Homo-oligomer: A and B are copies of this chain.
Amino acid sequence: MAQYNQVTPEIVERLQAIAPGRVYTGADVNEDYSRDEMPIYGTRMPDVAIDAMSTEEISAIMKICNENHIPVTCRGAGTGLAGACTPIAGGVVICTMKMKKILSYDTDNFTVTVQPGVLLNDLAEDALKQGLLYPPDPGEKFATLGGNVSTNAGGMRAVKYGATRDYVRSMTVVLPSGEVVKFGSSVSKTSSGYSLLNLMIGSEGTLGIITELTLKLIPAPKVTVSLIVPYESLPDAIATVPQFKKAHMNPQALEFFEREILISSEEYLGKAVFPRNVGGTDVGAYLLVTFDGETQEEIDAIVEKAAELVLDAGALDVLVADTPAKMKDAWAARSSFLEGIEEQTKLLDECDVVVPTSRIADFVGYVKSIEPEFGFAVKSFGHAGDGNLHIYTCANDMELDEFKKQVDTFMTKIYDKATEMGGLVSGEHGIGMGKIEYLARSVGETNMKLMEDIKKVFDPNLILNPGKVCYKL
């Protein structure tokens, strides 16, 4: 067990000399720095918060904190859902939100170099201006890229283009010791020693602090179209999923959701675009599918083929969103699921489980079958094309302790079921501090011990983001 020291006034002074005017203590620390979007796992105010501006500053800060055994937690926008950036051991929080420069594009090699605090949305829009696409597209557009890399964020387009991992070419990292290293390079393939780059990706700020990223881009597809596909029931909708790939169709996005979650999101947005009844039949579930391509003819042919496919598979209808405005409306509802839930819910927890795509229907069936055992409501949606489900437990009239107890029983059951089906605890949100026990149960002691020992290789004093992923306080 690591022993930590307090931040003394003398240390605060040394930190202030490194980042003048950007070191906050006491009541000056932003309350947001105590948590991410899932406060149910616990919150804690740091003793000191620093808005860092450069690799050199972060290196100097880490040297001081490492020498003095002071815990450090790095954060970006704080949009995480597993408590990964909550400074549960106190100490220093380093925020990278001011490191938000898009540094340079390399249009010959299709890469962009950014600071870690650049928001996903800002890179996406800027890249599009150059005719380029940054494929990762998590629901939360205002996360930082440093955060996205730290959780290997997935998102809507992962079904075609892969997750964040597939778009990270290299990174500059400040190690807990303060040493500055580079992992990877801008080249597209490598077999040059252990992939420290891939070890950093998804390590949730526990091994080092990312201070620069070189990311892969692709030429932006020229034509995009979305299909809204209503079904009578969720099993019908989900049974369609593997059919697309079998028919050699490669959707850019392939989402599923149930009626109830769509309604709460549309109510939150104050705009309804999805049909709720088709020819007298109530819609029970939807697929939202996007295709992209190079020419209108290509896309027209795909849409025709896809429409036939889903109708054959029992869809009630197919609505084509083929203008930017229509697509924006359709996807706005999808993007607001979490906000819609949050607005209606006092107590909230979630899981981000991932199962083989062919098992989604079975898995959702299992979740529904155990729901009546619990006092909370269960709402689910997810990335059907990836087998990645977001399952929310929502309560308004429960005591916190009782809610937590019931959620733990529920989560243990569904994670065990996912593991049994060959799945994993998290598809894209990470482990943070909320899911360590579930991860251990899923991957076993030996894997956890390997992770812990790797953590110690990078961070022998265990000062960096303590209590997360594999190292429990």
Inter-chain CA distance A430–B189, complex, in Å, is: 11
Number of copies: 2
Inter-chain CA distance A388–B190, complex, in Å, is: 9
Which of B245, B352, B450 lies in contact with A110, CB distance below 8 A? B245
Residues of B near A109 (CB, < 8 A) are 242, 356-358, 387
Sorted nearest first, the 6 A-B pairs with minimum C-beta distance are A108-B358, A198-B198, A453-B457, A192-B424, A187-B354, A109-B356
Cβ contact within 8 Å between B198 and A199: yes
Residues of B near A470 (CB, < 8 A) are 193-194
Residues of B near A248 (CB, < 8 A) are 219, 222, 294
Cβ contact within 8 Å between A194 and B187: no
Cβ contact within 8 Å between A162 and B166: yes
7 residue pairs A–B, Cβ–Cβ below 8 Å: A108-B356, A109-B357, A186-B356, A187-B386, A195-B202, A196-B450, A450-B458
Residue on B nearest A207 in the bound complex, by CB: B194
| Interface secondary structure of A, over-half rule | loop
> Is A405 in contact with chain B by the CB < 8 A criterion?
no
Contacts A162-B166, A181-B446, A450-B458 given; indicate if A108 touches B189 (C-beta within 8 A): no
Min distance, Cβ A421 to any Cβ of chain B, angstroms: 9
Residues of B near A188 (CB, < 8 A) are 158-159, 354, 357, 386-387
Contacts A154-B189, A192-B425 given; indicate if A446 touches B245 (C-beta within 8 A): no
Inter-chain CA distance A183–B454, complex, in Å, is: 15
Inter-chain CA distance A252–B196, complex, in Å, is: 28
Min distance, Cβ A260 to any Cβ of chain B, angstroms: 26
Which of B154, B429, B431, B450 lies in contact with A457, CB distance below 8 A? B450
Min distance, Cβ A434 to any Cβ of chain B, angstroms: 13
Contacts A162-B166, A454-B457 given; indicate if A354 touches B190 (C-beta within 8 A): yes
Residues of B near A448 (CB, < 8 A) are 193
Inter-chain CA distance A193–B432, complex, in Å, is: 9
Given contacts A185-B354, A187-B422, A248-B294, 18 further A-B contacts (CB under 8 A): A106-B358, A107-B246, A152-B195, A154-B191, A159-B188, A182-B443, A186-B356, A187-B386, A187-B388, A188-B387, A190-B202, A190-B426, A191-B429, A193-B202, A194-B451, A195-B202, A219-B248, A222-B248
Cβ contact within 8 Å between B108 and A427: no
Residues of B near A163 (CB, < 8 A) are 189
Cβ contact within 8 Å between A186 and B422: yes
Contacts A248-B294, A457-B454 given; indicate if A427 touches B191 (C-beta within 8 A): yes
Cβ contact within 8 Å between A190 and B447: no
> Is A469 in contact with chain B by the CB < 8 A criterion?
yes
Residue on B nearest A247 in the bound complex, by CB: B219
Cβ contact within 8 Å between A191 and B426: yes
Residues of B near A458 (CB, < 8 A) are 450
Cβ contact within 8 Å between B457 and A185: no
Q: Which of chain A's residues 166-191 have a Cβ closer than 8 Å to chain B? A: 166, 175, 179, 181-183, 185-191
Cβ contact within 8 Å between B106 and A175: no
Mask of A89-128 contacts with B, CB within 8 angstroms, 1/0: 0000000000000000011111000000000000000000
Inter-chain CA distance A448–B248, complex, in Å, is: 44
Which of A108, A159, A188 is packed against the most chain B CB atoms within 10 Å?
Answer: A188
Contacts A108-B358, A439-B193, A446-B175 given; indicate if A187 touches B427 (C-beta within 8 A): yes
Residues of B near A108 (CB, < 8 A) are 242, 356-358
Min distance, Cβ A227 to any Cβ of chain B, angstroms: 19
Contacts A166-B166, A219-B246, A222-B248 given; indicate if A192 touches B106 (C-beta within 8 A): no
Inter-chain CA distance A431–B192, complex, in Å, is: 6
